[in-house]
Chain A
Amino acid sequence: MSVGFHELEEAPPPMTSRLEGELLEVSMGPQHPSTHGVFRMNVALEGEIVRKLKPVFGYLHRNHEKIGENTSYLGSMPYTDRLDYFCSMTNNWAYALSVEKLAGIEVPERAEYLRVILAELTRLQNHASLLGFLLSDMGAWGTPLMYAFREREKILDLFESLSGSRMMCDYMRFGGCRCDLPPGWMERARKLVDGFPRFLDEFEKLVVSNEILIARTQEVGKLSAELAINAGITGPMLRACGVNYDLRKVDGYGFYPRFKFRVPLGEHGDCYDRLMMRVLELRESVGILQQAMEQIPPGPIVNPKVKLRSFRPPVGEAYGRIEGPKGELGFYLISDGGSNPYRYRVRPPSFINLTILEDLCLGHTVADVMVILGSIDIVMGEVDR
């Protein structure tokens, strides 16, 4: 009297067939542990596979552009710190560069060197923390982030002794920088930069050939070079697709042509390439920093002809851009001859890099979405402004 398998009249349909065609809508965010801030995605899932993904922005839209049009040119400088709050120095530089273009201002040599040094230090701490966050998203919770923040704190100490603030430096001015280096700063910075490759070696040894990391990132979120160019992707994300476009080489702003460095390029455009791009760029940045610290000349740090108070650039418009750690950071300014800009526009790299988020995520699992988002490197202050 055993109940055999054959006695069942009909086999129950497998679970998948009942779910077929039924999409489950999930709202990820704005409060989500790994969305890098208040980012929200409306995802339609089939089982675990992403079939539709619509990003929802604006949860940190704090009206940077409107406020910029209502304050003086110099008054917007502290606000640029809060755009991409990891990289206040590069934001300052991009804004200063655009205003210098708008008003035709020359920058003294020493100031340009200082800008290069500070921008590359910013790149070091941005990429280091990105690696920590990305690994956290992959489940390596805590430890890599602690390592990254240890290095970041050292750089923030340098920023603090120079500008008075850890994160919001507000250091650059039109036609130069705000103040010269405090005594002993360069030696401390040199020590840090010389020690940085050790951190990289250690970090690479820890993670780069880790099997889990490779399984989670390789062949995930592949981006083709054609789509990347058409969608305006910039920065390490673009170069991971194999497109050689680095504004430090192309525009050659701020004495970058004087330094020897290579532009690392990826091959596959997947998350692994994007991660490795950051590691390789860190090594190049260390090289640039060592050269710049060697060559920096003495001299004035600000153009004395610029009157920062009651600063009124001539009528006209200008678009200036630099290679920020996250991509091409641009400022578009229209002057009507007054003390406030008539139009003040920020071209945010991480906002535009999100254009192709849906294309990257389709067909992958929900868990991969976090990895893809982490590898894009967004900061909500810049995405929503």
Chain B
Amino acid sequence: MESLEEIKARGEAAVPGAKITIVPNPGPANQPSLLLDHEHATAIARFLRNDVALRLDHCSNATGVDWLDRKVSKKVKVKKVVEGEEKEIEETHEEFFPGYLEAVYHLYSMTHKHGPVVIRMRTTDRGEAARLPSLTPIFRSAEFQEREIFDLYGIRFDGHPDLRRILMWDEFADFPMRKDYREPDDYEYEPTPHDDVLEKAKEHYSARPQLDGAENLTAQS
């Protein structure tokens, strides 16, 4: 199979205006991926599927990843004029990376028996704009998997034929696979509480004593 750089070059040539970025993978697995822009993602995916040399006709896996807001503090040496004198001062800069949701697809070729080519798309934020183009019209296998991503991560896929919750019930309001999801507090007690379970138990019993049998507990710990 050709290298990702060649695929990127050919894809950008085949779909005018498309912007593909190669996302490196530092681990030993050596599976770098292609980041697609929203506007041309379906066209690029169609190119990858239909291109004679690539023929990536098997979309094996489609999944979501949640990346929270990150703050990275860096120490930077800055030249500043202090009391009329130029000095080099070390300053701590906090760089803010806004969080986003990501959909990752693993493509293989059943015709040529090669792969994987990993493609990913990123939403602009984790709130209202968590939308991505759906690849279900190109790969039918993404149908249920995109529904699952919607259910658990809350990415809305434009162009998906039937985007509903799939694993949780329809009335459910949260997106449980997100990193900041808080599960309902329904532990009755823990037999051997320690560390964060103990904290959880304490919090639980002080907050809602009437519901969960906490009246049977003594307050000391």
Contacts and interface: CB of A to CB of B under 8 A. Distances in A.
A283 interface: no
Interface of A: 57-58, 61, 63, 65-66, 101-104, 227, 229-234, 243, 245, 250, 313-319, 321, 328, 330, 332, 334-335, 342-343, 345, 347, 351-352, 354-356, 384
Contact of A229 (B57, B104, B106, B145): B57
A250 B28 contact: no
B61 A318 contact: no
Contacts of B29: 101-102, 104, 316-319
Interface stretch (B3-11, B86-94, B164-172): B164-172
30 contacts: A57-B167, A63-B176, A65-B177, A101-B28, A103-B27, A104-B27, A104-B28, A229-B110, A230-B141, A231-B143, A232-B140, A232-B142, A245-B58, A250-B113, A314-B27, A315-B27, A317-B25, A317-B31, A318-B27, A319-B31, A328-B60, A330-B61, A332-B61, A332-B63, A342-B65, A343-B63, A347-B61, A352-B144, A356-B140, A384-B167
A319 B113 contact: no
A321 B59 CA distance: 13
A359 B143 CA distance: 13
Interface string B98-135: 00000010100010010010100000000000000000
A296 B89 CA distance: 66
A313 B28 CA distance: 10
A111 to B, nearest CB: 19
A243 B167 CA distance: 31
Given A229-B110, A231-B141, A317 B27 contact: yes
Contacts of A245: 58, 110, 113
B60 A330 contact: yes
B191 interface: no
Q: In the complex, which range does the number of interface residues on chain B fall in? A: 20 to 34
Contact of B169 (A58, A65, A319): A58
Contact of A58 (B27, B59, B166): B166
A313 B29 CA distance: 11
B26 interface: yes
Pairs A-B, 4 closest by C-beta atoms:
A316-B27, A232-B141, A104-B28, A318-B29
Contacts of B104: 332
B139 interface: yes
Main secondary structure on A side of the interface with B: mixed
Nearest to B181: A66
Interface in B1-59: 25-29, 31, 57-59
Contacts of A61: 167-168
B61 A230 contact: no
B127 to A, nearest CB: 20
Contacts, number: 105
A233 B106 CA distance: 14
Given A318-B27, A332-B63, 7 more contacts: A104-B27, A232-B60, A245-B58, A334-B65, A343-B65, A347-B63, A347-B106
Contacts of B141: 230-233, 352, 355
A55 to B, nearest CB: 9
A334 B120 CA distance: 14
Contacts of B59: 232
Contacts of B110: 229, 243, 245
Contacts of B167: 57-58, 61, 384
B26 A314 contact: yes
A384 B152 CA distance: 12
B26 A315 contact: yes
B61 A354 contact: no
B134 to A, nearest CB: 14
B27 A230 contact: no
B169 to A, nearest CB: 7
A355 B140 contact: yes
A356 B110 CA distance: 18
Contacts of A334: 65
Contacts of A234: 60
A233 B108 CA distance: 13
Given A314-B28, A317-B25, A318-B29, A351 B144 contact: yes
A347 B60 contact: yes
A3 B111 CA distance: 72
B166 A57 contact: yes
B143 A355 contact: yes
A250 B28 CA distance: 21
